[in-house]
Every structure is written in C-alpha cells, then in structure tokens.
C-alpha cells in the first residue's frame, strides 16, 4: 500500500498550480485518473468520474504514473514539437519506418499532446483507439513510449500492407485499412483526404530535420 494524491490543481498562466484538496490512501498499483474540470482545474482520482463537468485526460496504470504528471508541473494541453524527437527516431528505427512520417502523423493526430483524447475515444500522441492499443499490448494508452511504439508498429504493418505507398498508409491510419481496400485508394471522405494532404505536408517539412 502507498500514499497517493486525490487532488485538484488550479491552472495558473504558466504552470499547473498548488495542491488544494486532500490526501488519501490508494494502493500503489491502483489505476489513477486525471481529469480536467470545466473551469480548467485538474483532478487526480482513483475512480471514474461520470460527469459532463470533467474530461478524462489520462488514465495511468498506477500511482507512479500520476505522480510523474504532478512533478513535471507542465501545461497539459500544449505540446512541444521537438519533445519526442528522440523517442520518434529510436522507435522508427526499430521498426524500419520513416521518422518524418511518424512525426507527421503525431502532429496531425495530437499536436504533440500526450494526453489528447478525441470524442471517438482515440488517445495519446498517436491517437490510438482502445482496440489498437490492446492489439499491441499497451496497458497505459497515455504513456508516450507505449503509445508511440504501438502507433509505429501499426504504421509498419500498413506500410507492408500497402506496398510502402505513403498516401494509402496515411489514409488507412485515418479511415481504416478496410476502407482503403474497399475503395482501392484513398476513400472519398473529406476528412480523410484533408488528413492525407496535411500529414504528407508535415512529412515533407520534417524530412528536412530527420
């Protein structure tokens, strides 16, 4: 057993501010949830909060993951474009995927916010759907290392499936591989076509730095 924090943090203009609630006992290995309230404050708790007033930012596998968030004291919604370059390069190299493509997808998906969560349930830097995260053995979908590894692994499989054709790989990442197979190319979805253009534009930009 260990001590964990159930707390609300008020946002300041620069960083997340001071602890203002209380401390409770939570098993070290219990899941911990990080929520943002409608007023911008952040709440850490050991249970799911079912209220429209709170939006889930991150679920960590244990207390240590939540503690790391608090200790960093950084803003939760502004990603640093270069913060994950080393992780991107190492993971891309391990799977034989173009690092510029990985960063381009990350940029389009989450804008480098590791706690990004879409209304459809996609989460983290690479915006993994729960089923995709489970498929690649992710137990903390908001952990950058696990999230990026799974996203890159998926990109690797898509590269193999679509013969290294980037526009098809990117389309499949957005709309699903079955949609690309069905239409034998980029599906005629406005969102997907705009997404492909955006990612490939980002890829050209990042190819100059990787």
Catalytic amino acids?
A: 109
Q: What is d(CA 186, CA 7) in angstroms, rounded to the nearest whole number?
A: 46
Is residue 191 a contact partner of residue 174, using CB atoms and an 8 Å limit?
yes
């Amino acid at each position: 057993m260990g001590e964990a924090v159930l707390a609300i943090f008020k946002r300041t203009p620069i960083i997340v501010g001071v602890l203002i609630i209380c401390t409770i006992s939570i098993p070290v290995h219990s899941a911990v949830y990080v929520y943002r309230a409608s007023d911008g404050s952040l709440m850490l708790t050991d249970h799911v909060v079912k209220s429209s007033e709170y939006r889930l930012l991150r679920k960590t596998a244990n207390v240590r993951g939540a503690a790391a968030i608090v200790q960093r004291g950084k803003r939760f919604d502004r990603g640093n474009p270069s913060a994950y370059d080393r992780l991107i390069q190492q993971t891309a190299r391990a799977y034989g995927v173009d690092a510029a493509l990985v960063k381009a997808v990350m940029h389009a998906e989450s804008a480098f916010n590791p706690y990004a969560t879409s209304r459809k349930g996609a989460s983290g830097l690479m915006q993994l759907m729960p089923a995709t995260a489970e498929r690649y053995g992710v137990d903390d979908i908001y952990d950058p290392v696990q999230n990026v590894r799974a996203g890159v692994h998926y990109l690797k499989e898509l590269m193999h499936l679509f013969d290294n054709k980037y526009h098809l790989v990117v389309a499949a990442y957005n709309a699903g591989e079955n949609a690309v197979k069905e239409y034998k190319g980029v599906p005629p979805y406005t969102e997907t076509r705009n997404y492909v253009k955006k990612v490939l534009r980002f890829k050209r930009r990042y190819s100059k730095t990787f």
